[in-house]
């Protein structure tokens, strides 16, 4: 009998529905084309997010994290990009079945996104007020036009910005930290918001502003019971903010676990090596650990495990020739990892 993970057969990157689930993604694949050749940027991606839950999405640059979020939200990824999925379900509705107009109302209405670069996320030719009003016109039918400015000022106050007299200001007249807060206010303007996708929302900020933005996200989660997917390279942010962590490598999910188990008992060698590279204080001396190599090129097919060439626990030809499947880990029945070392005794080396 095959093993089960959340009611689904182990071995595939799938998630099963739960009573409190607000977002479920299964079998998401994103393929670019380069010089006429397909380049798989995201492969068989799966994600499950509960109401009020914060899920961290981690991995090196080039792992497919941002691409996965944009595909879930339905943003354009290029004219020659193909997006496929078995299901993308938000609050019981499969987004793949929606018309273009229905999907447009979902984006920014029930699910919205905070981008990494707040400066380039606003149109420099339009005032902040005019850009905010366009969002309210689409996602706040309960308001009349005469109420827009009062609502904008209220939303800005909620993120620590005094908007009085500033709605006619242009984006360049605000600091980067202020623009990040304004972007969060825009993303959370809808009363129907269920899921907030944050794509490295604090990466470009200094540590003081970063702490303020993280506290703002915590407050929004608490006050509105928002579910969040947080893409970040900072594992300390993951430890502080997240309930569950999804680890990606070379376009694939390689491990899923609750945040405590991931930090205390990581199962996949990639996760182990990521955590090993985190500086610890007080530092006892010596060189910090650095993972050798780099994420493989996505346009070059790999027969076995995509992490084999960099793995400190490489087993031999089995790793080079057989792709590992996601299997339940020993730590938790809901946690999975894609490694030949997972799911029982360490297999014999095959060289």
Q: What distance in Å separates the CA atoms of residue 249 and residue 256, rounded to the nearest whole number?
A: 12
- Quote the pLDDT of residue 277: 85
List, in sequence order, every residue forming a beta bridge with 227; answer none if it has no partner: 195
The whole-angstrom separation of Cα 181 and Cα 122 is 12
pTM over 0.85: yes
**pLDDT mean over 65-88:** 90
pLDDT in tens, 324-333: 999 998 666 6
Task: Give the count of beta carbons closer than 10 Å to the beta carbon of residue 82.
Answer: 13
Q: Which residue ranges make up each domain of the chain?
A: 4-110+195-204+226-338
Residue found under tokens 């623009």? 179
Instruction: Tabulate helix, strand, coil % of the chain (nearest 5).
Output: 30, 25, 45
Fold for the domain defined by 4-110+195-204+226-338: Rossmann fold (3.40.50)
Residue 14: band (very low, low, confident or very high) from pLDDT cuts 50, 70, 90: low
The predicted structure's pLDDT at residue 12: 46
């Amino acid at each position: 009998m095959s093993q089960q993970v959340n009611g689904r057969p182990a071995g595939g990157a799938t998630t099963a529905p739960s009573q409190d689930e607000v977002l479920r993604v299964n079998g998401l694949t994103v393929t670019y084309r380069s010089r006429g050749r397909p380049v798989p940027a995201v492969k068989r991606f799966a994600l499950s997010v509960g109401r009020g839950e914060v899920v961290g999405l981690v991995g090196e640059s080039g792992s497919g994290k941002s691409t996965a979020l944009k595909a879930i939200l339905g943003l354009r990824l290029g004219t020659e990009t193909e997006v496929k999925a078995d299901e993308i379900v938000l609050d019981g509705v499969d987004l793949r079945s929606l018309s273009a107009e229905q999907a447009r109302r979902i984006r920014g209405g029930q699910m919205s996104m905070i981008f990494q670069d707040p400066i380039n996320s606003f149109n420099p030719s339009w005032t902040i007020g005019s850009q905010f009003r366009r969002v309210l016109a689409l996602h706040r039918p309960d308001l009349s036009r005469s109420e827009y400015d009062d609502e904008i000022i209220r939303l800005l106050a909620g993120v620590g910005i005094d908007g009085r007299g500033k709605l006619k200001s242009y984006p360049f007249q605000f600091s980067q930290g202020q623009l990040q807060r304004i972007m969060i206010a825009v993303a959370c303007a809808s009363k129907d918001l269920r899921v907030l996708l944050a794509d490295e929302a604090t990466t470009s900020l200094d540590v003081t502003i970063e702490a303020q933005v993280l506290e703002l996200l915590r407050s929004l989660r608490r006050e509105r019971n928002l579910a969040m997917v947080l893409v970040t390279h900072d594992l300390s942010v993951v430890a502080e903010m997240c309930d569950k962590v999804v680890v990606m490598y070379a376009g694939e999910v390689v491990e899923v676990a609750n945040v405590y188990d991931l930090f205390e008992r990581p199962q996949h060698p990639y996760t182990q090596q990521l955590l090993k590279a985190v500086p610890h204080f007080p530092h006892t001396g010596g060189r910090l650990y650095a993972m050798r190599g780099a994420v493989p090129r996505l346009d070059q097919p790999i027969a076995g495990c995509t992490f084999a060439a960099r793995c400190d626990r490489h087993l031999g030809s089995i790793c080079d020739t057989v792709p590992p499947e996601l299997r339940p880990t020993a730590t938790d029945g809901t946690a999975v990892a894609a490694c030949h070392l997972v799911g029982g005794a360490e297999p014999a080396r095959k060289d």
